[in-house]
Amino acid sequence: MHNPGTHESLPFVSLMIGRITAWWRGRQAERLDISPALWDVVEARFWFLDHLRQDERTELRRLAREFIASKEWSGAQGLELTPHIQLAIALQACLPILHLGLDWYAGWVGIIVYPGDFLIPRQVMDEGGVVHEYEDQVMGEAWYGGPVLISWFHDPDDTLGVNVVIHEFAHKLDMKNGDADGMPPLHEGMSRKRWAAVMGSAFEDFRRRVDSGEETALDPYAAELPSEFFAVASEAFFEDTAMLRSEYPEVYDQLRQFYRQDPAAFSGYLEAHQPPR
Ligand SMILES: [Zn+2]
């Protein structure tokens, strides 16, 4: 049945629902009790936030609050979730969407935090049709339409060189338009063809380098799949920005357009503050 009335009212209804959701999220976020001291302590963990302008820091705090309020958090394997842990995860998760908005993380709610890396049971079927079961040791995993699983390391030195939060949330952005394939939904003015060409050739080049036994500055895990290349390159974009820009300038440029941020503009500052690797 064709009902023009329904068609006309739909955008209005979805706009209203969007506004109510945003209002509710804002209210919940305001109720979170986060002391100024806690903000300072947790932000001090992340030297790669230091170059943000004051208005960006304020926006990041607002997003982090709303992010904490809008997700369902649970600690696995006896981990007791503290405001410190939630804030540390939220600040890192919201950095990539600082200029994109929280709606990029809509459509799922669960965040499960593990005390360190953890095992995920897997199954593979071999060519003979026999199913083999094994356990995969991981630091995180993002499920399409489902939760993000993340390991928590109290000492940031334990994960030196890897940002598991930015990594898993980059997968979430990638999944915004379907399976993780290394191409998130691109903004107007960006070209899918250009993205595919730049990321594809960088991935192939990186894969060759890793296969030949070269020691790479970028985490060799990026050679696994195009989706992993995007996630690992996203970590480097925010944390090791000068390295990414010098090794793969076109990848940096695509990520700069996608994230609408240009951390390499502050690369001198970031390098000076970066812990040794
Ligand atoms: Zn991954």
Distance from Cα 166 to the centre of ligand 1, integer Å: 10
- Cα 262 to ligand 1 centre (Å): 23
Residues 47, 92 contacting (CB under 8 angstroms): no
- Tell me the CA–centroid distance for residue 257 and ligand 1, in Å: 21
Percent helix, strand and coil across the chain, each rounded to 5? 55, 10, 30
Sign of CA dihedral 179, 257, 259, 246: positive
pTM (2 d.p.): 0.86
Q: Average pLDDT in the 104-128 region? A: 90
Residue 232 clears pLDDT 90, i.e. is over it: yes
Mean pLDDT score of the chain: 88
- Distance (Å) from CA 182 to ligand 1 centroid: 10
Residue 65 has pLDDT above 60, yes or no: yes
190 CA → ligand 1 middle, Å: 24
Number of Cβ within 10 Å of residue 45's Cβ equals 15
CA of 140 to the centre of ligand 1 (A): 8
Sorted by sequence, the CB contacts under 8 Å of residue 115 that are 6+ apart come out as: 75, 76, 77, 78, 79, 151, 152
Question: Any idea which of 32-46, 146-160, 163-177, 222-236 has the lowest mean pLDDT?
Answer: 146-160
Q: Which position has the higher pLDDT, 13 or 174?
A: 174
User: b/e string for 79-102 if b means 16 or more Cβ within 10 A?
Assistant: bebeeebbbbbbbbbbbbbbebeb
* Res. 276: pLDDT tops 80: no
Q: Calculate the dihedral angle through the C-alpha atoms of 33, 53, 167, 112, rounding to the nearest 10 degrees.
A: 0
Q: Given this model, what pLDDT does residue 265 score?
A: 87
Q: What is the pLDDT of residue 1?
A: 46
Q: How far is the CA of 118 from the centre of ligand 1 (A)?
A: 14
Q: What is the share, in percent, of the chain residues with pLDDT greater than 70?
A: 85
Distances (CA, A) of 151 to 112, 163, 220: 8, 11, 20
Q: Name residues with Cβ closer than 5 Å to ligand 1, which is an ion.
A: 228, 231
d(CA 228, ligand 1 centre) in Å: 5
Q: What is the pLDDT of residue 80?
A: 92
Alpha carbon separation from 21 to 24, 90, 103, 143 (Å, rounded) = 5, 19, 10, 23
